Amino acid sequence: MPVLVSKSLRDYRRSLVGWTVGITAFFALYLSFYPSITKDPELYGRAALAKFPGAMRDLMGGLEDFTSGVGYLHSLVYQLFGPMLFVVCAAILGNRALAQPEESGTLELTVTLPVDRRRLVFERFAALALGLLGLAVVTFLAVWALSSAVDMNVAFDRILAGHTGILLLSLLFGTLALAVGAATGRRGIAMAVVGVVAVGGYVVESMGRNVDAISWLRWISPFHYYLDGRPLYQGFPTGDYLVLAGATVVLLLTAILAFDRRDVGV
């Protein structure tokens, strides 16, 4: 493994362990409620959830039938909370790749080493991708095991499809933080951009289905290519996932070009 990748992973290890434990515990907590939900279908079924205000249902992904395993898993794990936790983790790691060390004054020392700048950015990206992959693998196994334990009857490949989408979505936002950090050298700006794109993109995608004024914006929202294919219901939306992967590659190339042409401040 390249030196810069292994060093970055060592730097990320405590953060990754913390996020892995935290997200796994979060998923375990919510999945543990499922058996009690199924015992009261009148309170959590489709008819009951339809009474919620339309805007709230839209923001929560439609609030589909909680008494079915796929509906519960989709609404509480894969619609909002899971993706947002992964996106925040990815943004923090992406910020630590370039912007944070530049603001602290340590990146200048790395740049003076006989390491090509483009290689530096690529290997920091590789560490980000490997870190998120490890987080995704552990949490995927946890969700699959816990859903099986509480008899949710959701197929292995559907959970894998949903988790693959979370990984691709979070990698895109982590690369966005990396690219903004490479271009500006400011972690505050990078986090602000990620926050605006993430929150705005989710609101546009979730509410744009029923609000004509913003429906056209769905096509530029990263969440559209994660949510629209409904992976827990329909399996892998290959075309949508390729769009997320392609956008990530574009952001990586942008980061490489921006960092290669910019003076690094201290």
The 10s digit of each residue's pLDDT in 17-30 is: 999 999 999 999 98
Note the pLDDT of residue 84: 93
CB 191 within 8 A of CB 133: no
pLDDT in tens, 78-108: 988 899 999 999 999 999 988 888 787 777 6
What is the model's pLDDT at position 242? 97
Q: How confident is the model at residue 44 (pLDDT cuts 50, 70, 90)?
A: low
Q: What is the pLDDT of residues 163-197, one digit of tens each?
A: 999 999 999 999 999 999 999 988 899 999 999 99
Token couple for 21? 């434990």
Supply φ then ψ for residue 68, to 5 degrees: -95, 145
Residue-level pLDDT at 114: 66
The whole-number pLDDT of residue 190 equals: 93
Which of 63, 45, 46, 65 has the alpha carbon at shortest distance from 54?
Answer: 63
pTM of structure = 0.90
CA 247 to CA 255: how far, in whole Å?
12
Domain ranges of the chain: 3-260
